[in-house]
Amino acid sequence: MPIRDELHELKARKNSGNEMNDTNPTQIHATGEATGFIPAPGDKGKPITVIGTNSIRAGFDATCLQQALNARSAPGVTDLVLNPDAHAGYGAPVGCVLTSPTHIYPGPVGVDIKCSMSFLQMDLPADQITDKTVRRELINAILERTPTGPGRGQRSARKARKVGEALGVKVATDGASPEVLHALGIPLDWAERCEDAAHVGHDGTNAALALRLEWVRANQFSNFLEKITQLGSYGGGNHFGECEVVRLLDNDRARRTAEVFGLRDRCVGFLSHCGSRGFGHALASGQFRALQQKFAAWDIPLPGDDKELVYAPLGTPEADAYLDDMALGANFATVNHLLINALVLEAFQEIIPGVKGSLVYFISHNIARKELLPDCHGGFAGEGWVHRKGATRAFPAGHPSLKGTPFAETGHPILLPGNPCAGSVIMVADKGAEKGAYSVNHGAGRCMGRKAAGRALDQKTVDDEFVAHDILSNCRLYPKDEAPAAYKDFDAVLDSVKAAGLASEVARLKARFVIKDSDTSLKGAA
């Protein structure tokens, strides 16, 4: 059905009163220690799955819950999951999973296409970075290669990799191909440690992406080269690079799994959080504008009257355009992460010669992927699009999609950042992950808005906490809106994941220094 016809049908249904939503958004029914549900609007279809203990469930704000109800009632949506880190976002909550076999939704992907986590493991014993002078030298060496801050790219970092126009086109259309990796000095085998090393167009080809990029450059990107030169940079907001010490859990499963993952106990690693930078943001923003203009021109109602919940039925030109733009942004994000890791390893080798490093994993939490959808019997109900907005894929051992990968018998690594002072974790999915649409949370989740954190938190208290934990930073003043106190209790979030049977810990990560944008004027933009 063409998108215009489908939208008019939706408008007619809404005007007839069939789209009424009388569900109490605060009513979460517990089904277990860390699981619950919210009835679907009108009690039609599968309820919203809620992952979280009593204390976590009580912390979901009304806006977050209403957004979940709006998204669940949207056309073509078959499942919606709220993870324990969920909080209000744009359109759909951050920390949710939305599945649909028939529609694509930009909102439950977000404006930072393929915002992701990656982890680099080094063979460097932890005691080699005990000295603060060494850590400060490492921070400076990294900043010489990987700039932070909005709009900052290769020109602001003396030892950054230079990326020209021709290579930039290949990055966007081919992703982490051997040619791209070789040109940027990234180890070729790192592509095997990616959730997706490369994305293709709506028809399964790179040619579709090449054509789409030509159109985007002609109609939307007058500054394509400027966007491309942001490769190898963190940006701002909640993005970061964090030097860690790995501590494996003391049990047989964790040790066996860590060996497959390539983790080294009591050695140094590096955790990175960033996405597709200004390149992906511009693509996503363009898609929101284009779809919103069509909804307005056709006078068609939006789910929950929320302009961030625009959508397109699969097979329409609008859906094809979005899938192509998402793939272009995702390819950029993939190469951006791999390049950052290569530059971080280069910085360590400059300060501590002889250090070796390997990529453990790269995994997204802002993406829509075509996957097998779980059914209610522990099997699969065919393919559909799984939208993860601030949610992380969690395939356990034996999942069909892991066949032929290094993780077929263990499940793949799950990289979950907490906060520098509480630490972060690397987990692996359990069989119970299917109840969360084979997904878990993407971190701790905010409990305090950025403006509220700026007003409520004391700068000296924030900075003193880092001193007490012996954590260095490149920031003269650590951003208050990114302080640990602005986020939910990480252990409480992890307790929910484990109690629900979604995933188990393999290793804890203890921060030793943090790379962060310290520009307080940014106010959280990615």
Each residue's pLDDT tens digit, 440-499: 999 999 999 899 999 999 999 999 999 999 999 999 999 999 999 999 999 999 999 999
- DSSP characters for 96-113? EEEEESSEE-STTT-SST
Q: What is the 3-state secondary structure (H, E, C) of 52-65?
A: CCHHHHHCCCHHHH
Distance (Å, whole) CA 318 – CA 289 = 12
Residues in the chain: 526
For the segment 487-522, what is each residue's pLDDT rounded down to a tens digit? 999 999 999 999 999 999 999 999 999 999 865 433
Q: Which of 74, 80, 101, 68 is nearest to 380 (CA)?
A: 101
Query: What is the predicted pLDDT for the residue at 149?
Result: 81
Quote the distance between the C-alpha of residue 209 and its chain's center: 22
Distance (Å, whole) CA 71 – CA 81 = 10
Token digits of residue 506:
């393999």
- The single-letter code of the amino acid at 89 is G
Burial grade of 401 (CB within 10 A; 0-12, 13-18, 19 or more): middle
19 lies in some domain: no
Q: Which of 360, 496, 471 is nearest to 426 (CA)?
A: 360
Distance (Å, whole) CA 224 – CA 221 = 5
Which residues lie across from 368 on neighbouring strands? 387
Query: What is the predicted pLDDT for the residue at 381?
Result: 81
Burial grade of 102 (CB within 10 A; 0-12, 13-18, 19 or more): middle
Distance (Å, whole) CA 392 – CA 427 = 11
Distance (Å, whole) CA 387 – CA 384 = 10
State the total domains in the chain.
Answer: 1
Task: Flag whether pLDDT at 44 surpasses 90.
Answer: no
Query: What is the predicted pLDDT for the residue at 169?
Result: 97
Query: What is the predicted pLDDT for the residue at 15?
Result: 38
Q: Which helix (H) or strand (E) holds 176?
A: none
For the segment 354-401, what is each residue's pLDDT rounded down to a tens digit? 999 999 999 999 999 999 988 877 778 889 999 999 999 999 999 999
Query: What is the predicted pLDDT for the residue at 439?
Result: 98
327 in helix, strand or coil? helix
Q: Helix H segments across 244-392?
A: 252-261, 277-297, 317-351
92 lies in some domain: no
| CA atoms lying within 13 Å on the CB side of residue 371 | 26
At 24, the pLDDT band (50, 70, 90 cuts) reads very low
**pLDDT mean over 333-337:** 98
487 lies in some domain: yes
Q: Which helix (H) or strand (E) holds 130?
A: none
185 lies in some domain: yes
Token digits of residue 154:
């290769």
Task: Flag whether pLDDT at 21 surpasses 80.
Answer: no
Task: Flag whether pLDDT at 351 surpasses 90.
Answer: yes
Distance (Å, whole) CA 466 – CA 478 = 9
Query: What is the predicted pLDDT for the residue at 150?
Result: 76
Query: What is the predicted pLDDT for the residue at 519?
Result: 55
Point out the least confidently predicted range of 16-25, 279-288, 398-407: 16-25
Query: What is the predicted pLDDT for the residue at 1?
Result: 44
Domain span at residue 213?
116-516
304 lies in some domain: yes
Task: Flag whether pLDDT at 154 surpasses 80.
Answer: no
Give me the CATH number covering residue 234. Answer: 3.90.1860.10
Contact 89, 81 (CB under 8 A): no
Query: What is the predicted pLDDT for the residue at 436?
Result: 95
Token digits of residue 264:
């080294």
Point out the least confidently predicted range of 151-160, 183-192, 285-294: 151-160
Token digits of residue 310:
């625009």
Q: Looking only at Cα atoms, what is the longest distance across the chain? A: 71
Query: What is the predicted pLDDT for the residue at 103?
Result: 97
Quote the distance between the C-alpha of residue 103 and its chain's center: 21
Distance (Å, whole) CA 492 – CA 311 = 34
For the segment 89-147, what is each residue's pLDDT rounded down to a tens digit? 988 999 999 999 999 999 999 999 999 999 999 999 999 999 999 999 999 999 999 98
41 lies in some domain: no
Distance (Å, whole) CA 422 – CA 124 = 22
Q: Which of 240, 132, 124, 236 is nearest to 471 (CA)?
A: 132
Burial grade of 411 (CB within 10 A; 0-12, 13-18, 19 or more): buried
Task: Flag whether pLDDT at 5 surpasses 60.
Answer: no
325 lies in some domain: yes
At 2, the pLDDT band (50, 70, 90 cuts) reads very low
| pLDDT above 70: percentage of residues in the chain | 93
Quote the distance between the C-alpha of residue 143 and its chain's center: 23
Query: What is the predicted pLDDT for the residue at 523?
Result: 39
* pLDDT higher at 11 or 417: 417
138 lies in some domain: yes
* pLDDT higher at 448 or 319: 319
Distance (Å, whole) CA 445 – CA 502 = 17
The distance in angstroms from the start CA to the end CA of the chain is 36
User: To 5 degrees, how large is the angle CA 35–CA 22–CA 389?
Assistant: 45
Q: Give the pairing type, strands 312-313 and 103-104.
A: antiparallel
Q: Which of 212, 127, 139, 117 is nearest to 413 (CA)?
A: 117
